[in-house]
Amino acid sequence: MARWRPTRRQVLTHGATAAGALALGSAATLAVSDWAAQGVIPPGPLPGALLDDASRINPTAVRGVLFAAPAPDETARVVGPLLRRIAAGDDPALAVAGVRHSMGGQSMLAGGWVLDTRPMNRISLDSAARVVRVGAGTTWRDLIPVLNAAGFSPKVMQSNHDFSVGGSLSVNCHGWHTGHPPIASTVRGLRLLTASGEVVNCGPGENAELFGLVLGGYGMFGVILEADLEVWPNARYVPHFDSMPALDYVEEFSRLVLAPDSTAEMAYGRLSVDPRNFLEEALIVRFTPEPDTVGTVLPLAEPDAASLQRAVFRNSAGSNLGKMLRWTLEREAAPWLAGPLSRNSIQNQPAAVFADHSEQTSDILHEYFVPHTTLAKFITAAREIIQRSGQELLNVTVRDVRRDTRSVLAYAREDVFGLVMNFRQERTAEADGRMRALTRELIDAALEVNGTFYLPYRLHATREQVRRAYPGWDAAMAAKSRIDPLPVFRNALFDTYA
């Protein structure tokens, strides 16, 4: 058998990762973790791999990387021997990864194995049933064109297409879709590889306990192999823009989007980070379908003026004038420039368009979920906390998230607004310490108004805060001890809080 060698792209990719690790004072053996150049499983283990995630400040030396196969059953055959070695105590535990868009090691394990699921990217659409079967490693970027060609669209996904479907299910994602719970609500069924190496079916009526644990379970309860997801008719949407004081957001959102006669199918809000009116002004953008386009096959447009959008956003980093200009453009110019777009085109944009590529700083996400009745109180508290902290807030997007009844680790236990906050942070341990202090203070503010926070980001919450925000946590960990007692599946989230 020929010895596997890294490609030039892989060497360059991990050279950059190593540089980031060294900048933080970390050291580890460098190996290969990117399958993309060949799309095949390299023979043998890849020991000592150095991985990072979307934070770019979390370099982690792992035991090695194992690669999934395109077919779920073949993946189970490939991974099975490792699971048996782990169970026998001959190998460290396994973490499950997609594109590693988390920010705190949720898809990595120091000293452990990582399963890269991305080769599992098969797609099969049943148009009559309005259900698509998707391999867990499939990205939304790959899925959207398949659905678009048949007049369909994802029912619920993030607002960008970079993520893997398995990763989206593992964090129980949500997006701009109004009137919907998180993505767990769209799942008809899953095929799951358990710690024992068995492939089982999970759904609302079959292995229901495991189903609820896996959705929003961050890979702690097994490997999602494939999922059956409900889809939604594509349509051309007309955008509508409305501005208001931030403290009037709930009233205006109820009038514009939640009213019985509203036809809005997607919507998001924006809070101003302009220093002249910091978190005091808001914008609601809602999208209504043109009836004669519903379910039709429409062109799948590329992101509109992506380079300009990036320039406006990135030039606001570190600049009060840039933030003032961006808010003015978004509030005043966008309504005049925006035209109809299809549902798929709205979702067919990478988060990478706005990503920070600096070697000195990273964009760090937070998200807080707040009941409608206490949103104004949380915004008021957050304004004071963030201004006092001195941290740089680049963006706040507000999303409508309905009550989740499926996930054991539900963050939306009633109808809530999700506030996605994007901070700019220096890539140093000292700066991360300051961000930890800010995060804990914002979590306390959310808990004070019966809210919660999202788990895919930096692991800065205290263990007490996790348990207060997620009352199902202890029950989930008790189930984990019962179904995976060793445990076989671990990651940084589990190690930090379990």
pLDDT tens for 176-195 read 999 999 999 999 999 999 99
Beta bridge partners of 124: 133
Arithmetic mean of pLDDT over the chain: 90
Helix ranges restricted to H, 149-206: 165-171
User: Which backbone phi and psi does 277 adopt, to 5 degrees?
Assistant: -145, 50
CB atoms within 10 A of CB 151: 18
Q: What is the pLDDT of residue 301?
A: 84
Task: Give the whole-angstrom CA distance, residue 192 versus residue 173.
Answer: 19
- Cis previous bond, 487, omega within 30: yes
Q: What is the pLDDT of residue 5?
A: 34
Task: Give the whole-angstrom CA distance, residue 477 versus residue 463.
Answer: 13
Residue 22 has pLDDT above 90, yes or no: no
Cβ atoms of residues 239 and 285 within 8 Å: yes
Beta bridge partners of 189: 228
Strands 94-97 and 113-116: parallel
Calculate what percentage of the chain has a pLDDT beyond 70: 90
Q: What is the pLDDT of residue 266?
A: 98
Contacts of 142 (CB under 8 A, 6+ apart): 121, 123
Tokens read off for 180:
């919907």
Cβ atoms of residues 386 and 124 within 8 Å: no
Task: Give the whole-angstrom CA distance, residue 166 versus residue 218.
Answer: 10
Task: Give the whole-angstrom CA distance, residue 98 versus residue 263.
Answer: 35
pLDDT higher at 8 or 418: 418
- pLDDT tens for residues 455-473? 999 999 999 999 999 999 9
Average confidence (pLDDT) over 230-234? 98
Q: Is the dihedral of CA 179, 156, 174, 298 positive or negative?
A: negative
- pLDDT tens for residues 115-133? 999 999 999 999 999 999 9
Residue 233 exposure: Cα atoms within 13 Å on the Cβ side: 13
Q: What is the pLDDT of residue 34?
A: 41
DSSP states of 199-231: EEEEBTTBSHHHHHHHTTSTTSS-EEEEEEEEE
- pLDDT tens for residues 39-87? 343 444 456 689 999 999 999 999 999 999 999 999 999 999 999 999 9
Residue 65 corresponds to which amino acid?
V
pTM confidence score? 0.90
CB atoms within 10 A of CB 87: 16
DSSP states of 161-191: S-SBHHHHHHHT---SBTT---GGGGEEEEE
